[in-house]
Structure 1
Amino acid sequence: MSEAADHFRRGDWQAAYEAWSDAGLGGLGADELEQFSTAAGLVGHHDELVGALQRAFLACQEEGDLRGAARCAFRLSMNSADHGEHALAGGWAARAADLVAEIGEDCVEGGWVAFLMMFRALGEGDLATARSRAAEALEVGRRLRDPDLTAMSTCAQGRVSIMTCQFAAGLAQLDDAMVRVLTGELSPFIAGHVYCTAIEGAQEIGDFGRVAEWTAALERWCAAQPGLLAFTGQCAVHRGQLMRLRGAWDDALREFAEAAERYVEIGTPAAVALTAVETGDVLRLRGRLDDADAAYQRAADLGLDPQPGLALLWLAGGRAAAAVAAVERLLATAEGPVQRCRLLPAAVEVLLACDDVDRARPLADELVSLAASVGSTALSAAGAQAMGAVELAAGDASGALPYLRKAHQLWARASASYDAAVARLLVARCLTALADPSSAERELVAARAVFRQVGAAPMADLASAMLTPDSLPGGLTAREVEVLRLVASGRSNPQIATVLVLSEKTVARHLSNIFAKLDVGSRTAAAAYAFEHGLV
């Protein structure tokens, strides 16, 4: 066995790549060329992977090894798709299908062609065909006892099941695929694809328990392979998503930046769009609106729609009409459960900020129903919070409180510190409306501590604005003090409306009352009063 092949057998991809590169590829047969292509791809050399696979494909044809040629064509098709080269991906898929037809007998390669057809159907939104092709690939993999094909098609079935609202079946299929990875029975590229596909599927429906378990396993898998670069970008993204959920926002931003660098290094810049959206979401919550806008624009430039984060950014910047228009468009086009899971919480927030309780209520009901079907803690928390926010906006603080208490408990169970703090702030609003200021103060103090810890300045300011003394100066109401504090911090009327979840008309009315009660004629004079009387 050659030195390079020995390194390959031990999983030292960098050493294998270097040994083959130093020795030259001239004398390699098809099998070793395939191995070199694997090593090159795993350490981030896409062009060399493609070149080696093309040479292996030609070598297999010359030797009459049609099955080997079909395997090379399959890998070239998948790799081209991963790098955004869709015309090449389609061409190699057709070549693989022709070879399987020429073989003329039952073979594993026929299952891989069915998988490629499934992949194409998913891209076209044809879920029925995708389901049929995935089942065909799985049947071949099981019957011919091919672990790679069985795991990949099982994972694909799981994703399709989730997309068609069969959540329990889909998650069970993802579990099945992950067990096959963890036993170590899969080849490296297939293992990496199964890891990332399954984690993404769980993340999309808010199943962060599975995301955490599988991301930890993916980290161990990556760390055990010297020089591995492929799949480490996805691993960094998933780590960042978990860090964001748990309130470690600085760490999350570093992970997203690292993921973007790795995507560029391995030649998949389109994947950077996802890191840009994730980065924009964190920056938006921190009140860095211009930076968030730049991140969302970067995602859009790379072909990924940054909604609904962009709508929430417009809302935070006082562009309520633009936010509502975006949400209405998304609601009209987002039909699948995966899209609705991400959209509905944001849609409810935007509509309530514009005092449109009637349109927000059915969306909150839909979110609760969807969460019950999925069964994930985070999605159930989002549903309870949406219902509580709707009831509170409708003036029923007593009816809202149980929903919001439940939301806080579920967010805490999911270790989602920021979201749990938002729920506590809404609980405080209920308690204030129910004439229990002492209990409201305890909730606000706890929520503000979390907001300050994660760097969510807008929400920390809001919590401070709600922490009013028992005796308010100038005959001001508690709500008027909240508005006055935000005026003193330099907020515009649209920004105050966003922070307090009010309409701009309501903010203007409060401001008029404040001016009259304090006998002042400008925002500057009102702010000076706030500072003089210790309200800021």
Structure 2
Amino acid sequence: MLFRERAWADAYSVLTRAAEREPLCPSDIELISTAAYVMGKDAESDAALERAYRGHNERGSAPGAARCAFWLGISLVMRGEPARGGGWLGRAHDTLAYEPDDCAESGLLLVPSGLHALSEQDSDSALAAFSQAARIAERCGDADLAALSSLGQGQALIQRGDIRQGVEHLDAAMVAVTAGDVSIIASGIIYCAVLIECRRILDLRRSQEWTAAMSRWCGTQPDLVLYRGQCLVHRSEILQWHGQWAEAMAEARRAVERLAWPRQPAAGMAYYQLAELYRLRGEHAAAEQAYHDAVEHGHSPQPGLALLRLAQGNADAATASLRRVLDETHDQPARARLLAALAETLLAAGEASSARTAVVELGEIAESVATPLLAGLAAQSAGAVLLAEDKAAQACAELQAAQRVWQELEAPYEAAHAHALLARACLALGDTDTARLELEAARGTYRQLGAARDLASLSVAGNPGDLSPREREVLALVAAGNTNKRIAATLVLSEKTVERHVSSILSKLRVPNRAAATAYAYQHGIVQ
């Protein structure tokens, strides 16, 4: 009854008390393990599975023992204990040595083989193993094996480059989870793995959709601790994309605390996510330390560290790092994130032609992978390059396309970047009213998020260009579209004096004309 109602804490309490009074059968001990796992009591869950394994062996139930050994092995491997985990998976194989090859448990033992092939980038062997497991699942009617097989097939297809078919298999596995067809432990594994794949191919929309579905599913189980391992990190990333930076920071810190000791495979990812949030908030020293911690835990600090160097004014170092990592990276979605960052650093260094090359490849990847996030990245990067090439009208079209993607994905920080770039394009086209609105939108979002560095880039304190107070007044009026005659009347000056002020302003700002001076005024907060 308690298990059917998913009252995990009560079930765990009742069963453990019962075990103290009298020996339980192996299937009841497995229930203790499941309840403990769901509540985040990993050590207790492992101990119960070991007892269940021994109980099945004593009763001569090889399939039952093998299933317990399989789940214990998989859980240990996922928590960063490959030696112990591998030992238990080996026991599972030995236990089934004299059993039929097509029992459900034999299908489960194809899963580690498929995962090993994936780790070796052997997608064909992985697909063969998971497809064989799927056939066994169909014959045996085993829902866990069917869902795990579908997940593995999806992972193998994505690794092979067949992303559209791959995500169909991922979706099938998640439908089985949210429909309640899959055991609770398998559900957590599948959800986390699907999020990993969605993150890898930059499919933010699918991540958001399945996270929302899982949140509803988890809401009916108050004792459930679903978010563990990489799931904690992905949850932080999704919160970050939605502009919930404070909540994302709390999740990232929780992930670091849970994963860093004893060291688990996802710890480096957790530190990297923490570093990204610090960088976005302008806390450079904290970001530097977190990137260092990520490297210590085996995770690449790029492209985040390069963007930190760019924020610190070292575009050359940022560009060199990104180019080196790109030479070593062949996975398309991973290259896409690096290429977007490289285009940004190259534009900052004044290398528009090289940035164009990076953006062309980024566009090709976006077309191949076909996820909204990649489409937005490609359009926004293309718009920035077009601006640098003085093609403002074309830049507007790309940036407006990016803006639509960010609105659809509810990604306010990226949308603010698009607003800021659109403001520059509108100014270049002489549309100062729209430019003002775009800048106000960017400033409002940066202020709300706490993006201190980005906000500062739109409004420079002090006296840009070493302008005199009177010159700042004249520049503000120029930016508002006033003629010299009207400025003279407003400030009670002669037109000749206004002409001298305008000439001095152009010289100090090193810009060629009034339009460029207007752009400067908006970009640097002289006109609000």
Q: TM-score, normalised by structure 2?
A: 0.83
One of 336, 339, 342 as aligned partner of 2:337: 342
- The reply to whether residue 310 of structure 1 matches residue 305 of structure 2 is yes
Q: 1:281 aligns with which of 242, 252, 276?
A: 276
- For residue 212 of structure 1, what is the aligned residue in structure 2? 208
1:215–1:235 CA contact under 8 A, matched in 2: no
8 Å Cα contact 2:376-2:406 kept in structure 1: yes
Q: Deviations over 1:271-317 (max 9, x none)?
A: 34333222221221121111112222232232222321111112212
Letter paired with 1:123:
S
1:189 positional shift:
0.5
1:438 aligns with 2:439: no
1:388 partner amino acid: G
Shift of 1:89: 2.4
Matched to 2:9, the amino acid is: Q
CA shift for structure 1 position 245? 1.4
Bigger drift between 55-64 and 448-457 goes to 55-64
What SS does structure 2 have at the residue aligned with 1:103?
coil
Q: Quick one: which of 82, 89, 92 aligns to 2:88? A: 92
- Whole-angstrom CA distance in 2 between matches of 1:224 and 1:274: 29
Aligned-residue offset at 1:474 = 8.7
Partner of 2:351: 356
Alpha-carbon displacement from aligned partner over 1:201-258 (angstroms, at most 9, x marks no partner): 2233232222222112212222322422243676654443233212221222223334
Distance, in Å, in 1 between the alignment partners of 2:28 and 2:259 is 27
SS of the aligned residue for 1:335 comes to: coil
**Partner letter of residue 115 of structure 2?**
F
Question: Aligned pair 1:458/2:453, yes or no?
Answer: yes
SS of the equivalent of 1:10 reads: coil
CA distance in 1 between counterparts of 2:120 and 2:353 reads 35
- The 5 Å alignment of 1:196-345 reads 196-231=192-227, 237-261=233-257, 263=259, 269-345=264-340
**Deviation at residue 190 of structure 1 after TM alignment:** 0.8
Q: Could you tell me whether the CA contact under 8 Å between 1:148 and 1:187 is conserved in 2?
A: yes
SS at match of 1:64: coil
Do the aligned partners of residues 132 and 360 (structure 1) sit closer, same or farther apart at CA in structure 2, a change above 3 Å counting?
A: farther
Give the C-alpha shift of residue 385 in structure 1: 0.8
* Residue identity in the other structure for 1:460: L
CA distance in 1: counterparts of 2:166 and 2:509, whole angstroms: 58
Q: Find 1:37's aligned residue among 33, 41, 46.
A: 33
Counterpart position of 1:404: 399
CA distance in 2, matches of 1:442, 1:260: 40
* CA offsets 1:66-86 (integer angstroms, 9 cap, x no match): 111211221122011111111
Give the drift of 1:419. 0.6
Shift of 1:185: 1.0
Judged with a 3 Å threshold, the aligned counterparts in structure 2 of structure 1 residues 241 and 377 are, in CA distance, closer, same or farther, namely: same
Taking the aligned partners of 2:198 and 2:75, their CA distance within structure 1 comes to 24
Bigger Rg over Cα? 2
Q: Answer whether contact 1:82 1:268 (CA < 8 A) is retained.
A: no
- 6-15 or 60-69, larger mean C-alpha shift: 6-15
Q: Does 1:49 align with 2:38?
A: no
Task: Tell me if 1:123 matches 2:127.
Answer: no
- Partner of 1:508 in structure 2? none
Give the CA deviation at 1:516: 10
Deviation, structure 1 residue 416: 1.1
Mean Cα deviation higher: 304-313 or 435-444: 435-444
Q: Distance in 2 between matches of 1:246 and 1:73?
A: 40
Counterpart Cα distance in 2 of 1:345 and 1:22:
57
Bigger shift: 432-441 or 326-335? 432-441
Number of the residue aligned with 2:492: none
**Structure 1: runs of 5+ lacking an equivalent:** 1-5, 482-512, 518-532
Q: Is the 8 A contact 1:152 1:177 kept in 2?
A: yes
Distance 1:42 1:97 in 2: 26
In structure 2, C-alpha distance between the alignment counterparts of 1:393 and 1:535, rounded to whole Å: 22
Displacement of 1:260 in angstroms is 4.1
Please state if 1:82 is matched with 2:75: no
Task: Describe the shift of the 1:461–1:29 C-alpha distance in structure 2 as closer, same or farther (beyond 3 A).
Answer: same
CA contact (8 A) 1:233 1:260 kept: no
Query: Structure 1 pair 438/230, CA: closer, same or farther in 2 (3 Å)?
Result: closer
Number of residue pairs aligned between Structure 1 and Structure 2: 482
Greater Cα offset, 359-368 or 422-431: 359-368
Q: Give the aligned partner of residue 500 of structure 1.
A: none
Rounded to whole Å, the distance in 2 between the matches of 1:300 and 1:464 is: 34
SS in 1 for 2:109: helix
Deviations 1:483-516 (A, max 9, x none): xxxxxxxxxxxxxxxxxxxxxxxxxxxxxx7499
Q: Are the counterparts in 2 of residues 30 and 59 from structure 1 also a CA contact under 8 Å?
A: yes
- Per the TM alignment, residue 476 of structure 1 is displaced from its structure 2 partner at its CA by 8.2
Rounded to whole Å, the distance in 2 between the matches of 1:408 and 1:320 is 26
Alignment of 1:51-66 (within 5 A): 51-66=47-62
How many angstroms does 1:56 deviate by?
2.1
Q: Distance in 2 between matches of 1:291 and 1:263?
A: 19
Alignment correspondent of 2:518: none
Residue 70 of structure 1: aligned partner = 66
Using the aligned pairs only, state the percent identity.
37
- Deviation of 1:381 after TM superposition, in Å, equals 0.8
Report the Cα offset of residue 384 of structure 1: 0.4
| Residue aligning to 1:22 | 17
- Distance in 1 (CA, whole Å) between partners of 2:331 and 2:196 is 16
Q: Specify the code of the residue in structure 2 equivalent to 1:417.
A: P
Q: Measured at CA, do residues 261 and 42 of structure 1 come closer, stay the same or move farther in structure 2, by a change above 3 Å?
A: farther
Q: Is 2:416 the partner of 1:421?
A: yes
Query: Which residue in the other structure is 1:132 paired with?
Result: 128
After TM superposition, give the deviation of residue 10 of structure 1 in Å: 3.3
Residue 368 (1) aligns with residue 363 (2)? yes
- Worse-superposed segment, 381-390 or 40-49: 40-49
> Residue in 2 aligned with 1:156?
152
TM-score by length of 1: 0.82
- Give 2:495's aligned residue: none
Q: 1:315 to 1:302 in 2, by over 3 A?
A: same
What amino acid does structure 1 have at the position aligned with 2:416? Answer: A
Aligned partner of 1:448 among 443, 461, 464: 443
Which of 2, 7, 16 is 1:7 aligned to?
Answer: 2
Residue 90 of structure 1 and its aligned partner are, at CA, apart by 2.4
Match of 1:496? none
Q: Over aligned residue pairs, what C-alpha RMSD do you find?
A: 3.2
Q: Say if 1:402 and 1:477 are closer, same or farther in 2 by CA, change over 3 A.
A: farther
- Partners of 1:413 and 1:322 in 2: how far apart? 34
Aligned CA distance change for structure 1 residues 145 and 199 (closer, same or farther; 3 Å): same
Cα pair distance change 1:15/1:303, threshold 3 Å = farther
